[in-house]
Amino acid sequence: MHILLTRPLEDSNELIIKFKNLGHLVSHMPVIQIEKSNYKIKDYSHFKGIIFTSSNAIKFLDTKLFDKKLICFCVGAATEKKALSSGFQNVISAEGNVNNLKELIFQNFNPSNGKLLYVSGEIISNDLDKDLLSNGYSVERIITYLVKPVENLDDKFVEKLKINMPEIVYVYSQNSALSFLKLIKNHNLVDFWMNTNLMCISEKTSSVLNEIKWRKIFLFSPGEEEFLLYKI
């Protein structure tokens, strides 16, 4: 099976290896690039817990400034893995979406416990901090990274893709979907996806790509990528 991955290489490496080991052909077409933001370094000692909604949020955070015994709430398995590898010891993971993460915080952290630090990218799909504030929590958000669209594709890659279109493409965010759509329009690829299954992280993400004719559209949570292969 031919699989197309659209996240930056660092975020795709593990899946590239896994899918290749399963005998699949894997193409990599990153549609976004991640850059560190110029967030202010400050004293983080007064925070009693940390919320991470992506592994990139941790990647660009100066983790040396934190007590590694602080409770960490992670949106999913990949983020949990990054938190643990960064030295955090008290890590709790949700099942890959922000609603589950919010419930996890409600169950394991009382507002009276103190202030939470919410670490994220510039663009978020859910106002987690506002939801927590409305439920009596004290929360401060910092933005550790920015998401920029990839502006162009290599012409040789595009020609190879036209000859051998993927059976599956994975898209992980609304921003990625918008960039994907712009790229394939710019390279005259809009009409090539009728036999491709689109795998999207949410309905918001898939709605961006509804104008393209797909074989089928599936929704998934991070960590379910391999499982989806058996649904086709």
16 and 56 belong to one structural domain: no
pTM for this model (two decimals)? 0.83
197 and 105 belong to one structural domain: no
The mean pLDDT of 72-93, rounded to a whole number, is 93
pLDDT band at 125 (very low <50, low <70, confident <90, very high): low
26 and 43 belong to one structural domain: no
133 and 47 belong to one structural domain: yes
Structure tokens that stand for 203 in this block:
């309905």
134 and 46 belong to one structural domain: yes
Structure tokens that stand for 141 in this block:
């958000």
What is the distance between the alpha carbons of residues 71 and 8, in angstroms, rounded to a whole number? Answer: 28
- Where a domain ends, among 113, 147, 181? 147
What range does the domain containing 53 cover? 35-147
Closest CA to 160 of 28, 13, 16: 28
For 27-75, the pLDDT digits (tens) are 999 999 999 998 876 778 899 999 999 899 999 999 988 999 999 999 9
102 and 171 belong to one structural domain: no
70 and 8 belong to one structural domain: no
138 and 155 belong to one structural domain: no
48 and 126 belong to one structural domain: yes
154 and 176 belong to one structural domain: yes
Query: Nearest 5 degrees, angle CA 209-CA 123-CA 174?
Result: 10
143 and 40 belong to one structural domain: yes
For 184-232, the pLDDT digits (tens) are 999 999 999 999 999 998 898 999 999 999 999 999 887 889 888 887 7
108 and 158 belong to one structural domain: no
Structure tokens that stand for 189 in this block:
């690829």
List the CATH number of the domain containing 221: 3.40.50.10090
What is the per-residue pLDDT for 41? 67
What is the per-residue pLDDT for 110? 96
The backbone region for 114, taken as left when phi is positive above 0, alpha when psi lies in -120 to 50, beta otherwise, is left
Total domains in the chain come to 2
Q: What is the helix (H) or strand (E) element at residue 129, kind and residue range? A: helix 128-134
Q: Is the pLDDT of residue 96 over 80?
A: no
